[in-house]
Chain A
């Protein structure tokens, strides 16, 4: 690092500042190591275990959280007695099977004191154990009867190779035909790679990010160019940049509450304005429509972040030597040509930075979609981002920490790949002129 001469009471002293640099960055590294690096490494470790629930006991399960195959046998249409004998036979072989055949000891519900046919009598209060266990108290008398059951099922799931062979053997001995067995067997794929909800969440995140970032980049670029264009002489540039940046400093919870309230159904302000002023026939239930909800979330993200993108791009444009612009003007270049031939190419490093950091941040989107509806990303899971999916897996009463860690690692790899692609795309063009100049 630097050396410097310092005047100290008449003497000229040489002071080495080298070590102070290291001393100043040590706190950051210590804090990073403890509070960030260690938890990150622990997350990677957890993704290879099966830790869940309240206790910290766990076993290493290798890659099975990421993808695993297991066999399941699902026999349907079995009579109750047969079902029970099959379950018992499998249990004797050490395999637990499920069935929905009623236990032989259960009495029929015909003598249920609470199944009154006449719905006008009051709900019974006699039984200390039940609170109004009268299902007819809840019926409107308009429902159709349930279909008559067509036999019961016997189901075994999650069988590895050995257990599967044993189950097949046991069932064959118990008299199940091989045709039935073949029909009943299927391979079930589980784990992150096959988790439909994870890929749905990833696709939601990508959609929300795309519709947030593309307009954001477009408008930020346009504004950045206008604000730095000397010939346009836009006044109050600083004021506008402040206004555009302000949404970023509002807490996400407040923003979510604000927009949830604005777009409330049926009598939120937007609906009232639409129905009364624009004469819409009826109010729109924004947060029950997937398209509207996604649009609103994307818009909020755009609104929050485009101020900061303007500032970054402005900094990038200001880094371009004004001499280039002036000579272009002198040579008779039109504003469009200046933009495409000078500004954009020289803005590449900053664009690359903005694209990669926005991608990383955008694919981790959590707070707005979490808070704006019911903390699960509904309606119909349309704004469930991967971060929300991860959070609900880890921090609900299920506490599926290992699977949440798996999702986390999955996201890490996906973002790494995408950011890498983006970075490489933006970088190649730079390398050529630099090498040519050498």
Chain B
């Protein structure tokens, strides 16, 4: 009797599990941002069942690749981050969205489409956001040490790297070391990385762009002269600097003048972690135009729900009503130029003291090119950052740092040609 019950129960469960698969759109992403966006979609399309899975970014690829390869339990729609999106473009797992990109997506900023275009010109993904980078600074500190907090005047003072360094020095001297220009030398990484002429890997060969060598010099300068807060990016201290609660080891308060963050830095980093300093910030382009990150949506090439998947992607990346609402609710910079143009005239961001940062981002987005992305970026950059930190702290000289970097990349990617 008991045995019969056990068999019956297991059959029920198995049957139930199989029944669940039908008619549900499976979506994977590495943050909950997509989930919040899909809430808008669900409101307009309540009959569509969506199952969202959040896989943390550091294990995202290792979980995603096997399911895409086997097809078992693969998502219908998944997101890809700038650090590795290029590696998937030629893989055959990203569905063809050329029709969408050229149709409803014809007003989407070109670089977001270029990044996911393969060698045959087919477009495999769409993004709802463009991510030019900026420099967010504290108005109170600008008024105190630079005499003005007006973004136009501040930008003129830090319009290139040499002036940026000069202002850093001015802050240090005027504040007797209690105010630093940036919280971490890691902030500079994305700026220099975007300014390269070539990506990390071209024709299966590792390229160390001379701009990265300049980065090594710059971080060493900032470290040795004390222009930076000595925190690690994304560490407690880094966030404390945003809140204004950073203290050094002697418990002296350290003020951080600004942070080099991109468009999504405003809603997801500053607003989330330093809500109490709202109104005391302003945004300028900073010394060098750059871009940082970005997320692309794509559908699985072997998905059994392609029309629904495409419909979801089309909504999230090109629907005017959604993009306008999303931009207004979060301050995120959307990729559709018509939407941007419509709202940039009257946008006023309270967190930035009423500044219309949207119009500024619209200008900055024109300078972005996705050409320096490669599929190997995530690991190569971790290896580079270790050598950068070692050189910055004086643990080794520049030639050794670059040599160790090349060795590390060669060990991680034995098939890459490393000279």
Which residues of A are interface residues toward B (Cβ below 8 A)? Answer: 52, 54-56, 98, 100, 119-120, 122-123, 125, 128-135, 137-143, 197, 261, 264-267, 271-272, 274-276, 282-283, 285, 288, 374-376, 378-380, 392-393, 395-400, 403
Give residues of chain B (220-258) contacting chain A, Cβ–Cβ below 8 Å.
221, 230-231, 235-237, 246-251
> B175 CB to closest chain A CB, in angstroms?
17
User: Told that A265-B230, A274-B249, A375-B382 touch, could you supply 20 new A-B pairs with CB distance under 8 A?
Assistant: A52-B415, A54-B69, A119-B162, A125-B366, A129-B369, A132-B290, A139-B214, A140-B165, A143-B213, A264-B237, A266-B248, A267-B251, A272-B249, A272-B251, A283-B249, A392-B379, A393-B412, A396-B62, A397-B376, A403-B414
Q: What B residues does A378 contact at CB under 8 A?
A: 386
A194 to B399, CA, bound (A): 25
Whether B393 is near chain A, meaning CB under 8 Å from some CB there, is yes
A283 to B369, CA, bound (A): 41
A397, B69: Cβ atoms under 8 Å? no
Q: What B residues does A125 contact at CB under 8 A?
A: 289, 366-367
> B315 CB to closest chain A CB, in angstroms?
29
A379, B390: Cβ atoms under 8 Å? yes
> B311 CB to closest chain A CB, in angstroms?
28
Whether B47 is near chain A, meaning CB under 8 Å from some CB there, is no
Q: Looking across the interface, which residue of chain A has its beta carbon closest to that of B209? A: A135
Give residues of chain B (22-62) contacting chain A, Cβ–Cβ below 8 Å.
58-59, 61-62
Whether B348 is near chain A, meaning CB under 8 Å from some CB there, is no
A-B contact pairs, 25 of them (CB 8 A): A119-B161, A123-B289, A131-B369, A131-B372, A133-B195, A133-B197, A137-B195, A137-B288, A138-B192, A138-B288, A142-B217, A142-B221, A197-B411, A261-B236, A264-B236, A265-B230, A266-B231, A267-B247, A283-B248, A374-B385, A375-B58, A392-B412, A395-B59, A398-B413, A399-B65
Q: What B residues does A271 contact at CB under 8 A?
A: 249
7 closest A-B pairs by CB:
A395-B62, A138-B214, A283-B249, A275-B249, A131-B369, A378-B386, A266-B249
A129 to B87, CA, bound (A): 20
Known A-B contacts A123-B288, A132-B290, A134-B195; the reply to A140 vs B162 at CB < 8 A is yes
Contact flags (1/0) for B152-165 with A, using CB distance below 8 Å? Answer: 00000001111001
Known A-B contacts A131-B372, A288-B389, A397-B84; the reply to A138 vs B211 at CB < 8 A is yes
> A333 CB to closest chain B CB, in angstroms?
53
A123 to B413, CA, bound (A): 34
B162, A138: Cβ atoms under 8 Å? no
Size band of the interface chain B makes with A = 35 or more
Q: Looking across the interface, which residue of chain B has its beta carbon closest to that of A56? A: B69
Known A-B contacts A137-B160, A143-B217; the reply to A131 vs B84 at CB < 8 A is no
> A222 CB to closest chain B CB, in angstroms?
36
A140 to B224, CA, bound (A): 15
Q: What A residues does B251 contact at CB under 8 A?
A: 267, 272, 276
A265 to B197, CA, bound (A): 34
A137 to B290, CA, bound (A): 12
Q: What A residues does B246 contact at CB under 8 A?
A: 267
Whether B371 is near chain A, meaning CB under 8 Å from some CB there, is yes
Contact flags (1/0) for B394-419 with A, using CB distance below 8 Å? Answer: 01000000000000000111110101
Q: What B residues does A283 contact at CB under 8 A?
A: 248-249
B161, A131: Cβ atoms under 8 Å? no
Contact of A130 among B197, B237, B395 (CB under 8 A): B197
A134 to B390, CA, bound (A): 27
> A35 CB to closest chain B CB, in angstroms?
16
Q: What A residues does B379 contact at CB under 8 A?
A: 392, 396-398
Majority secondary structure of chain B interface residues (helix, strand, loop or mixed): helix
Contact flags (1/0) for B275-291 with A, using CB distance below 8 Å? Answer: 00000000000011111
A138 to B218, CA, bound (A): 8
B289, A138: Cβ atoms under 8 Å? no
Majority secondary structure of chain A interface residues (helix, strand, loop or mixed): loop
Contact of B214 among A100, A135, A266 (CB under 8 A): A135
A128, B249: Cβ atoms under 8 Å? no
Known A-B contacts A131-B369, A379-B386, A399-B65; the reply to A137 vs B161 at CB < 8 A is yes
Q: Looking across the interface, which residue of chain A has its beta carbon closest to that of B198? A: A133
Known A-B contacts A54-B91, A122-B159, A399-B65; the reply to A129 vs B382 at CB < 8 A is no
A130, B58: Cβ atoms under 8 Å? no
A140, B230: Cβ atoms under 8 Å? no
A138 to B161, CA, bound (A): 7
Q: What A residues does B378 contact at CB under 8 A?
A: 396-397
Q: What A residues does B376 contact at CB under 8 A?
A: 397
Q: Looking across the interface, which residue of chain B has its beta carbon closest to that of A271? A: B249
Q: What A residues does B58 contact at CB under 8 A?
A: 375
A285 to B232, CA, bound (A): 12
A195 to B403, CA, bound (A): 17
Q: Looking across the interface, which residue of chain A has its beta carbon closest to that of B407? A: A197
Known A-B contacts A54-B91, A375-B382, A380-B390; the reply to A130 vs B192 at CB < 8 A is no
A131, B367: Cβ atoms under 8 Å? yes
> A344 CB to closest chain B CB, in angstroms?
45
> A129 CB to closest chain B CB, in angstroms?
6
A261 to B372, CA, bound (A): 34
> A293 CB to closest chain B CB, in angstroms?
13
Known A-B contacts A133-B197, A264-B237, A397-B84; the reply to A140 vs B386 at CB < 8 A is no
Whether B194 is near chain A, meaning CB under 8 Å from some CB there, is yes
Contact of A376 among B162, B247, B386 (CB under 8 A): B386
A392 to B414, CA, bound (A): 13
B375, A397: Cβ atoms under 8 Å? yes
Q: Looking across the interface, which residue of chain B has its beta carbon closest to that of A121? A: B160
Contact of A275 among B91, B221, B250, B386 (CB under 8 A): B250
A331 to B4, CA, bound (A): 66
Contact of A131 among B248, B249, B291 (CB under 8 A): B291
A139 to B217, CA, bound (A): 8
> A159 CB to closest chain B CB, in angstroms?
15
A131, B195: Cβ atoms under 8 Å? yes
Known A-B contacts A141-B162, A375-B382; the reply to A285 vs B417 at CB < 8 A is no
Q: Looking across the interface, which residue of chain B has its beta carbon closest to that of A392? A: B412
Whether B305 is near chain A, meaning CB under 8 Å from some CB there, is no
Q: What B residues does A132 contact at CB under 8 A?
A: 194-195, 288-290, 367
A142 to B414, CA, bound (A): 35
Q: What A residues does B419 contact at CB under 8 A?
A: 98, 100
Q: What A residues does B69 contact at CB under 8 A?
A: 54-56
Whether B210 is near chain A, meaning CB under 8 Å from some CB there, is yes
A264 to B235, CA, bound (A): 9
Q: Looking across the interface, which residue of chain A has its beta carbon closest to that of B92? A: A54
A378 to B215, CA, bound (A): 20
A135, B161: Cβ atoms under 8 Å? no
A393 to B412, CA, bound (A): 6
A217 to B251, CA, bound (A): 39
Known A-B contacts A378-B386, A398-B379; the reply to A138 vs B195 at CB < 8 A is yes
Q: What A residues does B371 contact at CB under 8 A?
A: 129-131
Q: What A residues does B195 contact at CB under 8 A?
A: 131-135, 137-138
Whether B274 is near chain A, meaning CB under 8 Å from some CB there, is no
Whether B368 is near chain A, meaning CB under 8 Å from some CB there, is yes
A395 to B395, CA, bound (A): 29
B160, A288: Cβ atoms under 8 Å? no
A135, B159: Cβ atoms under 8 Å? no
A246 to B213, CA, bound (A): 48
A120, B160: Cβ atoms under 8 Å? yes
Contact flags (1/0) for B352-381 with A, using CB distance below 8 Å? Answer: 000000000000001111011001101100
Q: Looking across the interface, which residue of chain A has its beta carbon closest to that of B66? A: A54
B393, A285: Cβ atoms under 8 Å? yes
